[in-house]
Amino acid sequence: MVAIARPVVFSDVFPKIKARNYVLVIGFAALTALLAQVKIDLGFTPIPITGQTLGALLAGAALGMRLGALSQALYVGLGLFLPIYAGDKELSSGLDVVTGHTGGYLIGLILAAAVVGKLAERSQDRSFITSIPAMITGSAIVYVIGATYFAAVDHISVQKAIELGVTPFLIGDTFKSLIAGALLPVTWHFIN
């Protein structure tokens, strides 16, 4: 009897051809760049509502820790040269964005994808009950790194950074976590 290897993360479902990982990493970096263009400026804060977090959560869950983090690092790296960040036309690329008030959120995407990916490798993406906390954890990582960096760069208190860079986004990011948290278990259901 031959044992069939069970896929650890969603990307393991695809055939292991040489270019598979490259395609998936580039694909999820592109998805995050596309979701970054879904942007709503709030006016009272320099931090916009975007779809980037959803891209990072999905990347981690689908690709696992290493490839998920790599996809987000590629996104952040490409944004240094290409206008793919969620900003105004003049603020949608470059080192100024990464070192500015939204830079911590971009860096947080990388770590969030890694942590969500590690949780997915431990099968936390297989059911709605375990997937939602994994996605909320990923969002919380983006908040912690983003707000801390925002406070330091803009020389404001952490409390003010939370007021401007976390609180207005809680409802939207909860919704993104629910989307990502539901999408993966449904996908696994169809794969199984």
In 43-167, which residue ranges form alpha helices assigned H by DSSP?
52-63, 65-79, 95-98, 103-121, 128-154, 158-165
Helix, strand, or coil (residue 47): coil
Digits of tens for pLDDT over the chain (192 positions)? 545 566 777 676 666 777 889 999 999 999 999 999 988 888 899 888 999 999 999 999 999 999 999 999 999 999 999 999 886 655 688 888 888 989 999 999 999 999 999 999 998 888 889 889 999 999 999 999 999 999 999 999 999 999 999 999 999 899 888 888 888 778 777 776
Dist. CA 14–CA 126, nearest whole Å:
17
The two three-digit tokens of residue 95, written as one number: 């080192």
pTM value? 0.88
